[in-house]
Amino acid sequence: MKKVMMGNHALSFGAKLARSRVIAAYPITPQTQVVELLSEMCADGSLDAKFIKVESEHSAMAACIGASVAGARTFTATSAQGLALMHEMLHWAAGGRHPVVMGNINRSMAPGWSIWADQNDSLSERDTGWMQYYCASNQEVVDTVIQAFKVSEALMIPAMVILDAFALSHTYEVVDVPDQELVDRYLPPFKPAIKLTPDDPRAFGGLTGSEHYMELRYKLQKDMEKAPALIEETGREFAKAFGRHLGLLDAYRCDDAEFVFITSGTAGYTARAAVDDLRAAGVRAGNLRIKVFRPFPFAQVREALRNVKKAAVVDRNCSYGAHGIFYQEVKSAVYGEAGAPPILGYVAGLGGRDITVDSFKEVAAHAMSKERADEEIVWIGVKK
């Protein structure tokens, strides 16, 4: 069934179709309509879930962890400062291996106070052990929430499904809402091997000495390394059931491309228009949108850049004192590869400044004028 919906509600519908059993959230800014619609669904009985209203995002994630350890499929959503307040609990979820799925609206970190798009909020949580999917359309948001539960529960690793503020969160698009029966077949109920129940009392997350801690983290890393293949596999399975493929990367006109934009989020769709214009002007351009940031698809990025002559990474984020964050990862993916192309790093669109087709043309013109990167960051659209 096709419906017109905003990105926030796409997250809500994804959580509903996945038959989330517990949703815990703090309902005030920077929260969005994600949990508003979910609370309505819980109230009118269309979603059989317990909605827990808490007093902070830290508590929201704590409640999600509690629900997950008791064996419930658990969902929440947040954004920016709310995500930052969850930081400690994000480690508890990943380190404790509780496969919570969370929607995060990419909003810039304050100050200055902002509700507009950039990726520094979620990328600040890079090393917590959560999987991160960056979406570019509302359809992808609905589909990815369903897939994320499947992958997370198989690996017992939590996941964030991430979308740009306003460019997706409050933008209405046509979404083909997956059929509930097909979703149920694709995503069976969550049945963890170990769970908290009064019949089998246990204490979780207790003191762990140096003789065991490292092995727990080794296991987390090893399971993260299984995720790229599992995301591809469950993406193919999704395509068979619903006709839409979900992968690690989204390559647009990359097959014969010499010059490639590397993007993420909604900028990854804008880049397609720039690619078409560049192609019309005789440049063999392409766009490689990185959808999954954690685990980082190193092998797939390396393969995608094999025959490329030059690549330009456009980051809607910045690791201050270093580079754009996707830029760092892409460079490390091709490090030491014979014939790896020069890769240049651009930062654009911080604090919700639009990244337009012209921004990409400016990037292309700059990249083509350079033999190699001679600046740490090239700023696009900044009033210097």
Could you list the residues that contact other proteins (CB under 8 A)?
96-98, 156, 194, 201-206, 208, 211-212, 215-216, 218-219, 222-223
Shortest Å distance, C-beta 90 to other proteins: 16
Q: What is the DSSP letter of 107?
A: -
Instruction: Count the alpha carbons within 13 Å of 236 in the hemisphere toward its beta carbon.
Output: 5
CB nearer other proteins, residue 113 or residue 218: 218
Shortest Å distance, C-beta 51 to other proteins: 26
Shortest Å distance, C-beta 101 to other proteins: 17
CB nearer other proteins, residue 219 or residue 306: 219
CB nearer other proteins, residue 182 or residue 196: 196
Shortest Å distance, C-beta 158 to other proteins: 12
Q: How far is Cα 298 from Cα 134, in angstroms, rounded to an integer?
A: 16
Q: How far is Cα 20 from Cα 22, in angstroms, rounded to an integer?
A: 6
CB nearer other proteins, residue 96 or residue 341: 96
CB nearer other proteins, residue 196 or residue 357: 196
Q: How far is Cα 157 from Cα 188, in angstroms, rounded to an integer?
A: 17
Would you call 2 helix, strand, or coil by DSSP?
Answer: strand
Shortest Å distance, C-beta 348 to other proteins: 40
CB nearer other proteins, residue 38 or residue 89: 89
* Of the candidates 105, 102, 97, 108, the residue with the CA atom closest to the CA atom of residue 163: 105
A 10 A CB-CB count for 381 gives 16
Would you call 164 helix, strand, or coil by DSSP?
Answer: strand
Tell me how far apart the 2 most distant CA atoms of the chain are, in Å: 69
Residue with the two structure tokens 């049945």: 191
Residue with the two structure tokens 């609370």: 39
Shortest Å distance, C-beta 207 to other proteins: 9
